[in-house]
Amino acid sequence: MLTLQFIPGYELNGLEVNQKIRKILGLVRKDRILVIEGRLSSEEEALLIQRTMEEISKEFKGVEICSVDYRKNEKTLPQKIREMLASMLLGGREGFSIVGPASIVREIKRNPDKIELLFSNNKR
């Protein structure tokens, strides 16, 4: 059975980055596929990859990650200012991230307009 778990932004926003990554990895290692409100930053993604590599074993093959920032690059100055203010108020929660165990999520395909999660046929 697949378990999809939604993590609201407020559950992670107060955590220090190492705690945040530990919490995410802990849940993924329990075979949960996480949908995290508020995308992980690039630095957090890099740290998640580092910590994942430290834990790779015969049983744990790694993770699949997909972070989506739905802000567009082509913006007018007022739009950018509004976005910056919203980001400051909400703690930079634009977008979302999906993180799942590599043994279950074979691949996450991303086109500019859609995201496809491809699952493994047999969990090793």
Partner 1 sequence: MVMMSKIRGFFNSIFSKLFRVKKTIKLGFYGPVNAGKSSLANRISKDFTGEEMSSVSKVPHETRTIIQKEKVKIKYNDKEMDFNLIDTPGIATRIDYEDFLKFKMNDEEAKERAKEATQGVIESIKWLDQVDCVLVVLDATQDPYSQVNITIIGNLAARNTPILIVANKVDLKSSKIQRVEDAFPQYKVIGISAMTGKNMDELYKEIFNLIKK
Q: Which residues bind partner 1 (CB under 8 A)?
A: 41-43, 45-46, 49-50, 52-54, 56, 58, 61-67, 73, 102, 108-112, 124
Cα 55 to Cα 19, 49, 51, 63, 104: the distances in Å are 16, 10, 7, 11, 17
Closest CB to partner 1 among residues 42, 121? 42
Rg of the chain over Cα atoms, rounded to whole angstroms, equals 16
Closest CB to partner 1 among residues 10, 87? 87
The distance of closest approach from Cβ of residue 54 to partner 1 in the complex, given in angstroms and rounded to an integer, is: 7
Closest CB to partner 1 among residues 30, 110? 110
| C-beta separation of 34 from 65 below 8 A | no
